[in-house]
Amino acid sequence: VDKIAPKLNGNKEGTFAYTTVKDRWPKIVTKLVDLLKTGIKDIVTDIGEEADGDVRSILEVLSKLRYLIMTDKPLENLIDNADDAMMWNGMLQELREHDMQLEQETVTWYRADWLFVECYLYRYIYSAVYSTVKMREFDYFQTNKRDSFTDHIGQIEESCAYLLPIIAEDAPVHETFGLATMIKMSLWGNRADMSLTGGDNLTLEQSSMNASAQRDKFILVDNIHELTARVLFPLLKRRGEQPANRRIDIVLDNAGVELVGDLLLAEYFISMGFADQVHLHGKSFPWFVSDVTRGDFNWTLEQLQINGESCSKIAERLKQRIADGQIIFENHRFWTYPHAYCDMKTVCPDLYEELQTSSLAIFKGDLNYRKLVGDRDWDLDTSFNTALRGFEPCPVFALRTLKAETVAGLGKEVINELIRQYDEDNSWMTSGEYAVCQLGGAAPP
């Protein structure tokens, strides 16, 4: 019987989780406070007089929040009336009852499971905004996300220009031409996430075509070949079948350059005949600083339209796909829940059943990976499927750069090499330098 590894926790000094609670979260909250203080005039001009009081009430919650984190206070119930508040408060209650039985207190900022409390942090911030009169729709991370697009415009243009001739009508037919490149572009786009830096864009260049080609040696597990042979080729063979039902899902992570890579991958899958439909899953409110919301999705398409010839051609195609129902954006609320994905079947059976109709679900980024493997301290050689703990609605493919101390499915040689290079030092797990492209989940039909 496989042992279940313990969950990561912010209480252990020296770990990245600990540094996150101690330094990264207060920094993220402080940045938000600064943003609201300096932006208050513009917000009032945009939204109207009431926004003044709204901003002040959000600021009050944020300074309280900083204090609650830094003094490791117990987690409070949410007091807004959004759809998911009951779920959160129910979970908090269960955790408290569990603590009572064990006569200990763990439902606090440092002591609760890291994944749970980090999701709670972003939900708590949203609660402050959701409870206002006029600012419910306000995206407080919007500037960061838009900057990530603008700062990478050179790379974005380059990526669009790469894809266009491959998907052109008269392109020579070569079924998997560009496939690995497109997948890796989408993968390395994940390095550009902003929550590591608390909202500062990382230095650029990391996902450009050239930079991406240089980074193969940092991919610790590369299952692109298995994905092609076992999932994508069989999908290609089923082209034209009725009912079509050749669907690929991409569970998105960050806006900006990463989202563009994912959109290009979606277009590639449809144009090359691997899928009839691609479902893109985003978040229903601002999440982990840079994650994609519907607003970011629409804004990105508009920006592509007005940024150079290759970008605007791609934008045209994408818009047509959306109009034809071939690319569909969804934002199920499970994606902003704190659960590991092995709990999806019981917590949100509707979403699980939906994914069961898919031929492949691609999970982007670090947080999705943490949820895939339950944010546990697995032995590095534990198989990916063991760590998924029964999450298998369809074949699952993770494209993730490592930014947290959890990973499974590494080979013996890779582990030995990491030990040789890093010894006891775990920094390779959190630097965003390394990546995995891992296939698991249900066996393809």
Site residues (vs Mg ion, CB under 5 A): 193, 253-254, 288, 291
From the centroid of its chain, how far is CA 272?
Answer: 25
- Dist. CA 387–CA 444, nearest whole Å: 19
CA-based end-to-end distance of the chain: 27
CB of 100 to ligand F6P, least distance (A): 29
Tell me if 372 sits within 8 A of 363, measured CB to CB: yes
Q: Which is nearer to Mg ion, 58 or 367 (CB)?
A: 367
Which of these ranges, 221-229, 337-345, 364-372, 413-421, lies near ligand F6P under the rule CB under 6 A? Answer: 364-372
Instruction: CB nearer to Mg ion: give 134 or 364.
Output: 364
- Cβ-contact 398, 427 below 8 angstroms: no
Q: Are strands 360-364 and 247-251 parallel, antiparallel or unpaired?
A: parallel
**Among 370, 374, 395, 398, interactor with ligand F6P by CB under 6 A:** 370
Partner in contact with 370, chosen from ligand F6P, Mg ion, none, beta carbon below 5 to 8 Å by kind:
ligand F6P
User: Binding pattern to ligand F6P, positions 229-268, x when CB under 6 A?
Assistant: ------------------------xx--------------
**Alpha-carbon gap, residue 433 to 55, rounded angstroms:** 38
Q: How far apart are CA 313 and CA 303, in angstroms?
A: 12
Which region among 98-106, 148-156, 192-200, 317-325 touches ligand F6P (by CB under 6 A)?
Answer: 192-200
* Part of the chain binding ligand F6P (CB under 6 A), chosen from 1-9, 189-197, 413-421, 437-445: 189-197
Residue 385 contact, options Mg ion, ligand F6P, none, Cβ 5-8 Å cut-off depending on partner type: none
160 three-class SS? helix
196 binds, among ligand F6P, Mg ion, none (CB under 5 to 8 A by kind): ligand F6P
Exactly one of 365, 409, 440, 441 binds ligand F6P (CB under 6 A); that residue is 365
Binding residues for ligand F6P restricted to 281-320, rule: CB under 6 A: 288
Interaction residues for ligand F6P, span 27-66 (CB under 6 A) = none
Q: With CB under 6 A, what is the number of residues at the site for ligand F6P?
A: 15
- Answer for which of 9, 11, 15, 20 binds ligand F6P (CB under 6 A) is 20
Q: How far is the CB of 357 from ligand F6P (least distance, A)?
A: 25
Q: Is 190 in the site for ligand F6P (CB under 6 A)?
A: yes
- Among Mg ion, ligand F6P, none, residue 199 binds (CB under 5-8 Å by kind): none
Q: Starting from the edge strand earliest in sequence, which strands make up the sheet with 395-401, in order?
A: 219-222, 435-441, 395-401, 360-364, 247-251, 277-281, 327-330
At residue 96, what is the residue type?
Answer: R
- Positive or negative torsion for Cα 311, 312, 316, 319: positive
Q: Which is nearer to ligand F6P, 260 or 315 (CB)?
A: 260
| Dist CA 49 CA 128 (whole Å) | 18
Inter-residue contact 369 to 408 (CB < 8 Å): no
Which is nearer to ligand F6P, 228 or 368 (by Cβ)?
Answer: 368
Which is nearer to ligand F6P, 222 or 375 (by Cβ)?
Answer: 375
By beta-carbon proximity to ligand F6P, the closer residue of 164 and 362 is 362
> Token pair of 121, please?
């942090």
Window 100-119: contact mask with ligand F6P (x via CB under 6 A):
------------------x-
Give the CA distances from residue 2 to residues 345, 378, 387, 408, in Å, rounded to whole numbers and listed in that order: 21, 11, 10, 13
Q: CB of 101: closest distance to Mg ion in angstroms?
A: 35
CA atoms of 435 and 113, how far apart (whole Å): 24
CA 392 to chain CA centroid, Å, is 19
In angstroms, give the least distance from the CB of 155 to ligand F6P: 18
Strand partners, 380: none
How far is it, in rounded angstroms, from Cα 257 to Cα 249? Answer: 19
Structure tokens at 332: 């199920």
Given the complex with ligand F6P, which of 365 and 440 has the nearer CB atom?
365
Task: Establish if 375 lies at the interface with ligand F6P (CB under 6 A).
Answer: no
| Residue 395 partner contact from ligand F6P, Mg ion, none using kind-dependent CB cut-offs of 5 to 8 Å | none
Q: Is the C-alpha dihedral spanning 38, 41, 43, 44 positive or negative?
A: positive
Amino acid at 366: D
Give 76's contacts (C-beta < 8 A, 6+ positions apart). Answer: 68
Letter for the amino acid at 281?
A: H
Looking at beta carbons only, is 190 or 438 nearer to ligand F6P? Answer: 190
List residues near ligand F6P by CB under 6 A.
20, 118, 190, 193, 195-196, 253-254, 288, 365-367, 370, 403-404
